[in-house]
Structure 1
Amino acid sequence: MRIKLFQEDALEEDRTEIYYREMTEQIEKVRQLLEDSVPQLFGLEDGEQVLLSLEEIFYIDTVDKKTFAYLRKQVYQIQGSLTFLESALSKHGFCRISKANIVNIQQIERVKSEANMRLKVVLNNQEELVISRYYRKIFQNYLKKVRGILHD
């Protein structure tokens, strides 16, 4: 197998392409390694990029077409749309709960029922986020899936 690496400073996102004639065990291992790797999120602080730990992020929010990661005491602007982040982070404990929010389920202290078939999550820092009716079932299914993985 031949491997080529290219550094391009202008890239907005790292990418990997694998060309193969036939799927082998070795190629499958490489694919799994790449898919299971933890994405890196960088937040802007005083014009510099800071590497954020996914475990410390409580939730991600979008306001005025800008995306922010909320940690216990800090808020960082991050790159990427919620749709992209939802896809990239879903394997790492993050679930979309509304048009503007993705929550880290590891940071949820409790879930409360609200009026109009809505749910509210109370985070470990006591912030409360509303799960919209549209995302309610998606959230509940995600929790079931994660619990199933944790209990296996």
Structure 2
Amino acid sequence: MRVEIVEDPAFTETVVRIGCARLDQQVADLVARLRILDRTVVGVEDGTTYVAPASEVRFVESVDRRCFAYTADRVLESRLTLAEFEDRLGDVGFVRASRSCIVNLSHVAALSPDINGRLRAVLDTAEELQVSRSFVRPLKRALGME
């Protein structure tokens, strides 16, 4: 892969152009990593509203019909549903891990087998998430393991 950067004061915004022989998984992953830079997650913690870059969100969990986005140092409660999070972040590397959780694949450090065909996903913050059996295959596919 060759990277070229053209600096020109005439540009009014940053433009990223990708040239490739065909759109493969590596190019799709690169595009997802670029797109996540423009996404944010808004949530409330201790009465204060915070805006966090989506790239900093490790996972989003639904508990008692309320959604929480977890970063390394914050737990933000959001008004969005888990399905809305999945719609907004699905194209930038977030995948379903269970009926109540989506995970940011860029923060998955390790996977290990768990009982009954489930997986245990270890995040870069050492947190562990259980991946339900029905979501193991899509998660592995998203990671390029299948």
State the TM-score, normalized to the length of structure 2.
0.69
Contact kept, 8 Å, 2:39 with 2:53, in 1: the verdict is no
What secondary structure, in the 3-state scheme, does the structure 2 residue paired with 1:86 have?
Answer: helix
Q: Percent identity?
A: 29
**In the alignment, which residue of structure 1 is the partner of 2:20?**
none
**In the alignment, which residue of structure 1 is the partner of 2:60?**
60
**In the alignment, which residue of structure 2 is the partner of 1:129?**
129
Q: Which amino acid aligns with 1:71?
A: T
Note the C-alpha offset of 1:45.
2.7
Structure 2 runs not aligned, ≥5 long: 1-34
Note the C-alpha offset of 1:138.
1.4
Note the C-alpha offset of 1:47.
2.6
What secondary structure, in the 3-state scheme, does the structure 2 residue paired with 1:116 have?
Answer: helix
Note the C-alpha offset of 1:40.
2.7
State the TM-score, normalized to the length of structure 1.
0.67
- Work out which of the two has the higher radius of gyration on C-alpha atoms and give 1 or 2: 1
Runs of 4+ displaced beyond 3 Å: 36-39
RMSD: 1.7
Q: How does 1:103-114 map to 2 (within 5 A)?
A: 103-114=103-114
Note the C-alpha offset of 1:135.
0.8
How far apart are the structure 1 equivalents of 2:81 and 2:121?
22
Deviation per CA, 1:27-55, whole angstroms, max 9, x where unpaired? xxxxxxxxx68333211133332111111
**In the alignment, which residue of structure 1 is the partner of 2:141?**
141
Structure 1 runs not aligned, ≥5 long: 1-35, 148-152
**In the alignment, which residue of structure 1 is the partner of 2:93?**
93
